[in-house]
Amino acid sequence: DSVVGSVVGINGTKTDHWELKPDRLEIYRDEKLGTGANGDVYKGTILGMAPIANFSKGSYVRRRFVDCTVAVKILPAYADATRRANFLEEINVMKSIEYHPNVANLLACVTLGSTICLVMEYAAFGDLARLLRDKYNVQTLPPPDQVDRSKGEICLKDLLSFSWQISEGMTYLSTKKFVHRDLAARNILIDRSLNALIADFGLCLRPDRLKSGGDPKKDRLPIKWMALESLKKFEFSSKTDVWSFGVLMYEIFSLGGIPYEGIPLTEMVKHLAGGQRLSRPKFASSDIYDIMTSCWRESPEERPTFESLRERLAEILEHET
Ligand code: ADE
């Protein structure tokens, strides 16, 4: 079985039902899927039967997978103690998030030895930023009934659906008082059924760590996705996640456009404090652009909540044929 007794590893972590024996995990080093804040991600397989505890549709299920394809984030061997601690914290954050269909859920981990692995759901279409950028030069989107999925085509309804699904996942995380802090298209994964999954909890703050604001790794912060108060005062909240969500919607409706292109990072505070915002992207209707700009209101209290974003996006999606 994958579950060992109560062993304490060299990292001081205890085993639990998430812990996988390293020989049960096959990692394909030539199939790199991406790079996260805390390490590179590779394709892999959990060998044999993997009993995976999940919450699905409100109830506890224990699904069993055989040789299940997974994504494995590995801490590089040269990582120092700080990065090691950050990575273990990322794993702990994911352990404390219960199953949600719009989160790239943790499936298992390997933490007892010198190599640390985070094993998560595999998303066949990879990250949303890359998926969108492949379509960047598309001038018109096909109507929903004429989308050729075999050619990887997407339509406006898909863009709305991604936005709505991410707002669903963020509603869940924000009600649990998690602050993601790195919400961006590069951290959204798209699976085979075009489900959007929120990933990369490397900068995520747990409810009990909110006050301390974590340890500011200023060099790793996503400046162009950050709210004005985060840039000025290093404050983070669900309302700063809402700001980032607006920038993420800009990426979606521009098909992978680069936010504030040409504006140096050092100019961003001045730019935003002067009231300037991103302009309406190519595929955003005025309704959609209104949602984005509401996310970028200077006063956090005036920005919508993820609940209201979810409701508004569901409404627009329902009217889109
Ligand atoms: N890139 C980063 N994480 C991934 C995942 N879980 N599935 C597919 N590609 C990824």
Q: Which tens digit of pLDDT belongs to each residue from 183-216?
A: 999 999 999 889 999 999 888 888 876 655 555 5
Q: Both ends of the chain: CA-CA distance in Å?
A: 49
pLDDT tens-place string over residues 28-81: 999 999 886 678 999 999 998 775 655 555 555 556 667 889 999 999 878 888
Which entry of 127, 158, 182, 200 is annotated as an active-site residue? 182
**Quick one: tokens of 7?**
């062993």
Q: Which residues of the chain have pLDDT under 70?
A: 1-7, 14, 36-37, 51-65, 209-219, 321
Mutate to test the pocket of ligand 1, among 28, 31, 32, 33 (most ligand atoms within 8 A of CB): 33
Which ligand 1 atom sits nearest the alpha carbon of residue 33? 1
Rounded Cα distance, 124 and 33, in Å:
10
**Distance of CA 116 to CAs 72, 95, 108, 142, Å?**
10, 15, 11, 44
Whether ligand 1 lies within 6 angstroms of the CB of 127 is answered as: yes
Q: How far apart, in whole angstroms, are the C-alpha atoms of residue 152 and residue 221?
A: 32
Catalytic residue check, 182? yes
In the prediction, which pLDDT does 52 show? 60
pTM, two decimal places: 0.91
Rounded Cα distance between 149 and 152, Å, is: 5
Interval between CA 34 and ligand 1 midpoint (Å): 6
Amino acid making up residue 251: E
- ipTM confidence score: 0.96
- Which amino acid is located at 168 in the chain? E
- 198 Cβ inside 6 Å of ligand 1: no
Q: How far is the CA of 69 from the centre of ligand 1 (A)?
A: 11
Distance 123 CA to ligand 1 centre (A): 5
